[in-house]
Amino acid sequence: MSESHDLSTARFAPLPSDYSSAPSAAEETVLGLWRSEGTFAALQAARAQGEPFVFWEGPPTANGKPGIHHVLARTLKDSVCRWQSMLGHRVERKAGWDTHGLPVELEVEKRLAISGKPQIEQYGVGAFNAQCRESVWTYKQDWERLSERIGYWLDYSQPYITYDETFVDSIWHILARMHARGLVYRGKKVLPFCGRCGTGLSSHELGQPGVYKEIPDPSVYVRFVLAGEQGAERESLLAWTTTPWTLPSNIALAVHPEREYVRARVALPVHKGAEKGSAGHEILWVVAERAKAVLGEFAELGRKLGRELAGAQYRPVFEVAVPEVDPGAWTPDPSASHRVYTADYVTVEDGTGIVHQAPSYGADDWEVARKHRLVVKQAVGAEGRLVCDIAGAPEAAKFGPAAKGTFFKDADKALVKDLKNRGLMFRDAEETHSYPHCWRCNTALFYFAAPAWFLRTTALKQRMIEHNRRIRWIPGEVGSARFGEWLENNIDWNISRDRYWGTPLPFWVCSGCDHEVSVGGREELRQRAGKLPDGFDLHKPTVDAVTLACERCGGTMRRTNAVLDCWFDSGAMPYAQHGWPHVPGSERKLRDQFPASFICEGLDQTRGWFYTLHAIGAFMTQEFPELGDTPAYRTCLVNGLVLDKDGVKMSKRLGNIVNPWDAIAKHGVDAVRWYLVASAAPWLPKRFDPDALAEVQRGFFGTLANSYRFFQEYARIDRFDPADARIPAPSARPEIDRWLVSRTQSLVRDVRRRFTDFDLAGGARALETFVVDELSNWYIRRNRRRFWKGETGADKLAAFATLHEALRSVALLMAPLAPFTAELLWRRLESARGSVHAQLAPRADERLVAASLEQGIEVVQRLVVMGRALREKAGQKVRQPLRALHVRSSDAAALELLRSRFAGELVLDELNIKGWGSLGADDGQLCKLSAKANFRTLGKRLGARMKAAAAKIEALDAPRLAALRGGTSVALDLDGESVEVTPEDVLVSVQSTATFDVETDGRFVAWLDLELDAALVAEGLAREAVNRVNTLRKETGLAVEDRIVLELAPEGAELAAALRAHESFLAGETLALRVLHLAAGSLPESASWDLGHGQNLRARIARA
RNA sequence: GCGCCUGUAGCUCAGUUGGUUAGAGCACCCGCCUGAUAAGCGGGAGGUCUCUGGUUCAAGUCCAGAUAGGCGCACCA
């Protein structure tokens, strides 16, 4: 592979021949170069003394394959980091791996073909965790290979790994500090629970297919009899439930505060045949919206708002001693029991608008309980079975009381019968609804308040809110709305998980006196325990084997069984990645790399990593003021999901996942990166469209490569040297060069500003416009001849230098986004300066920006467009020279410009027109002036009078318009008030009044002199001939530099004369050494063309 | 259910602090050019800026509501 050799050494070497057809291969050579040269390490070393720009890598988990969305996130991170390096900053890019957590366990369970906690315990926690430790590296190779391939520069030599001893050790220290501040407490967390597996389920597990099943359940309406004085007719609150088994644990009722509740008098049910109402009546409360549906016939006795019912007391439905549990987060108030409370979550779609509250068995119920400090009862334990006998009344026994040990689902029937028997059951039916089941064992789940450890983040709420205001969120709404709201509604963080593979919680609790300690690290544990067993590891189960002596009562302290929420791991990475504070030198590293200047992850991390970093940071900066009073990260760039081309989320199930390797192999990773970054704002969901990707490759990269090829071909032939002393200074170059120089500097300024402001898409777009429209399609196309003409003079050198500088700037500016192509170009353009990624970003030289020149080219381009349109209308191809172009304009400056050689010749040459016919101010014969108000300037000044003013301005007469054009202000009469109107306030435009074809854009009126004389026709014919001959050259397979002998046999005197008259032009354009003019009909076997004007040509060529 | 984002040409997207002819690229049709050539250029067609209402002299842009899609959170007593 001589290619990689060329890469580093050869000035103006061609791009790899397959760069456009198979960019992937060319990119691989760059990777090889980076590898052999150690480019990344060298860059990092070169920036070692730079100002730090702190970047934190959000750790991916390596037990899933990386997908195309990871390419997006990594491209954004990489591009920002590369750019910051180019600004001279030191950007450390420490890799990290997220290795703990439930997904890992599930993967291992699958592999071992076991399922559920009992089976894991049977398998052995030690062996299980060993498997987990291995499992997380399943796809490590994939990640590293893909990261390298996409050019994501990351330091994999010293990655942080969340299961590492130093990492866990650090987390223990942080938790101990939190514990010491009283921020850690034992509470209860209501979560879906499987009694058989004895475990809570994560929301992820609840989302598994088949979890929700349609099953029949009781649907019962229960009377909660009001306490206190009862009249002749019993008065009750009616509540609906589908889980009678929770009724023994009932502690309150909830109503909606703003709904109306009806006090209804209804007939008591009677036996068949008896007269309605003969058994008497009762009074029931239900929400107004449901009264008819629930009660049928009733007499309304009154109404109350829900909040007016609040506080009412009722008699418990079961008078049994159900065990109470300590909620942890509050101290229960027994006097609050069996009362009505208000809650916004109460709905009126079904039920009665009165919801029975059993805090242990519902998250909403738990919230109500927390708010009102309710007692928490648990008639059903973690195994899903009754923990005590339930019998409301002695006679219930004959129905078979719900006995201790009954599975909760099986208890329903007995409880319903008991309630019915005691007259508390208003209605009893069965209803089919969807109910969650354990995805492992298919057992019906129940919500259950399980013991859990909490971090009192509510104590940090104000600090978090205040810090959030100082984070630059991109886009802003994520911070102000999504994240801000999440902080406003902050609740304490449940940091415990009843699992196996995770950072063990460092909390030891005394089995005697319940005293708890938090251990701040391995060394502290060793000291407290005396010694640690052989093969000790800061994971389960070895850590569980360590017991401590209680300092209070001398009893045995055991570690709490739970492990840490693995989100805490990643949120603690700013500190734990350095092993702070136990690892020597970590303190210095931490201070250097805190806070982050920049992080970047998917929107799904708002409540994930973004939050955990923020919350832990809020604590740490408070605890360690030397870290500064700052949020953990200063800028957070959020990226959206990558969807398939139809806007559907990619999933294995649908088979619409885009394999990043396929896309890269086909189009090259630069195109993929460019497409992902430039196709839309990074935070919007992105549709991945392979066709659009191909377009990026063709449109942008293809054009750029073509531009370089053009430059390179001639630069080599002429041995152009960018350091040649004869190159004219920019100010001494032709206007067209100064224009491109100016545009180049404007581009540098624009892209620099945008990239520094994290606007990668905006920078990419600016680069696209520049390369495709300005550099390639205008500058190069217009100036081709300057490069291939014979002598190397100042003009040629100016052209070379101008193009070289433009390409050079493009290579530098595109480097962060398209690191491979940039490198390929740069090493050829600047062969002695090493990698493009080690360069400093260019700075715009404002002295070279010429606004007037840029505006001038705009005028030129507008006239060219108009001229082409005129040719189109007249049916005159560009090859046919025309005599003249006429222009009228009210813009004196523009006319002056067109009179200049520079702009005038550009227009005429581009349009193949011999000269200007007339070029002047509107004379009123072919066009007239019309005026329109400039709303932008006048609107603010005039406000409501704008409309009237606009009408007056449109009605301005010619003299006054002329005055305005001349730069004089004019007075307008608006309702008797005189208003001064400046030329800037009026947009004067021209309109054609001509009877022949003209073009106008409001600023210019243009028309063509279409009259052809013999000379023009002859020249046109000559050009046609050149075109045909050159086409023939190509068809014949001649190389561009091949010389030919050209034999022409024109069939017509006019053509014959034209060809003789323009023989040298013909010969020059076709590289003919000799041109033979033959008689008509002498080349019967040759190519024959109709050149127009009734002229046919036969010709033959041969290599000379 | 709650919150956030998005809805502009057939497709993918721009659209400045509100300012009067709403743009680009692709695709399509027509034409052109070709010593950058597995490129390039021009022209054309294509829009009730999702809908309704409001604020304003002026709304794609601001406000409210509706609607469709996406995402997140919660819940189904």
- Specify the pLDDT at position A160: 94
**A947 Rama sector, left if φ>0, alpha if ψ -120 to 50, beta otherwise:** alpha
* Locus of tokens 């001589």: A2
Kindly tell me if the per-residue pLDDT of A18 is higher than 60. Answer: yes
Nucleotide nearest to A240 (CA to C1'): B77
Task: Give the lowest-confidence range in A17-26, A135-144, A462-471.
Answer: A17-26
- The pLDDT, as a whole number, for residue A196 is 80
Q: What is the DSSP letter of A932?
A: E
Which residue from A62, A73, A207, A153 is spatially nearest to A642, judged by alpha carbons? A73
Nearest nucleotide (C1') to alpha carbon of A877: B32
Long-range contacts at A588-591 (CB < 8 A, ≥ 24 apart): A590/A627, A591/A626, A591/A627
Rounded Cα gap, residues A714 and A716, in angstroms: 5
Within 10 Å of residue A52's Cβ, how many Cβ atoms? Answer: 15
Residue A486 a catalytic site member: no
- Residue with the bigger pLDDT between A656 and A232: it is A232
Predicted local confidence at residue A8, as pLDDT: 45
| Location of structure tokens 């990026």 | A696
Nearest Cα residue to A405 out of A393, A419, A420, A390: A390
Assess whether pLDDT exceeds 80 at residue A278: no
Q: Do A228 and A276 contact (CB within 8 A), yes or no?
A: no
Q: Please state, in angstroms and as integers, the Cα–Cα distance from residue A420 to each residue in A251, A406, A532, A579, A720, following that order.
A: 20, 20, 61, 64, 101
Helix/strand/coil percent split, chain A, to 5: 45, 20, 35
CB A668 within 8 A of CB A24: yes
Q: Is A98 a catalytic residue?
A: yes
Q: Which three-class secondary structure state does DSSP give residue A1098?
A: strand
Asked if residue A589 has pLDDT above 60, the reply is yes
Strand B footprint nucleotides (protein C-beta < 7 Å):
3-6, 11-14, 17, 19-21, 25-26, 31-44, 56-58, 69-77
pLDDT at A354 > cutoff 80: yes
Residue nearest to nucleotide B42 (CA to C1'): A868
Distance CA A404, CA A407 (A): 9
What's the Å distance between residue A73 CA and nucleotide B66 C1'? 36
Q: pTM for this structure?
A: 0.87
Q: Is the pLDDT of residue A48 over 70?
A: yes
Q: How far is the CA of A348 from the C1' of B16 (A)?
A: 48
Predicted pLDDT of residue A647: 65
pLDDT digits (tens, 9 = 90+) for A719-773: 899 999 999 999 999 888 999 999 999 899 989 998 998 989 888 988 988 998 8
pLDDT for position A654: 61
User: Residue A1089 catalytic?
Assistant: no
Average pLDDT, chain A: 86
C1’ B60 / CA A648, Å: 26
Q: Is A661 a catalytic residue?
A: no
Q: In the annotation, is A873 catalytic? A: no
- Alpha helices of A87-236 — where are they, by DSSP H? 102-112, 117-123, 125-135, 140-149, 165-180, 203-206
Question: Of the ranges A218-232, A520-534, A656-670, A929-943, which one carries the lowest mean pLDDT score?
Answer: A929-943
Q: Which H/E stretch holds residue A860?
A: helix A851-874
Quick check: A203 pLDDT over 80? no
Amino acid at A710: F
pLDDT band at A51 (very low <50, low <70, confident <90, very high): very high
Q: Give the residue whose CA sits closest to B38 at C1'.
A: A21
Average pLDDT over residues A617-633: 95
Is residue A596 over pLDDT 90?
A: yes
State both tokens at A147: 């990261």
Q: How far is the CA of A477 from the C1' of B65 (A)?
A: 22
One of A44, A131, A378, A605 is an active-site residue; which one? Answer: A605
Which residue matches tokens 């390596």? Answer: A62
Nearest to A286 by CA among A250, A268, A259: A259
Is A377 one of the annotated active-site residues of the chain?
no
The spacing between the Cα labelled CA in A875 and the C1' in B39, in angstroms, equals 26
A407-411, A808-812, A965-969: which range is least confident on average? A965-969
Confidence at residue A1095, expressed as pLDDT on a 0 to 100 scale = 80
Among A16, A59, A327, A816, which one carries the catalytic annotation? A59
Nearest to A361 by CA among A338, A339, A384: A384
Q: Which of A56, A240, A473, A567 is catalytic?
A: A567
Nearest to A1080 by CA among A1061, A1054, A1103: A1054
Average pLDDT over residues A487-500: 87
Q: For residue range A974-1017, list pLDDT tens digits in order.
A: 777 788 888 778 877 777 677 677 777 777 888 888 888 888 88
Give the per-residue pLDDT at A558: 95
Distance, in Å, from the CA atom of A880 to the CA atom of A1056, rounded to the nearest integer, reads: 17
> Separation of CA A1007 and C1' B47 in angstroms?
31
Nucleotide minimizing C1' to CA distance for residue A344:
B1
pLDDT exceeds cutoff 50 at A3: no
Minimum CA–C1' distance nucleotide for A358: B77
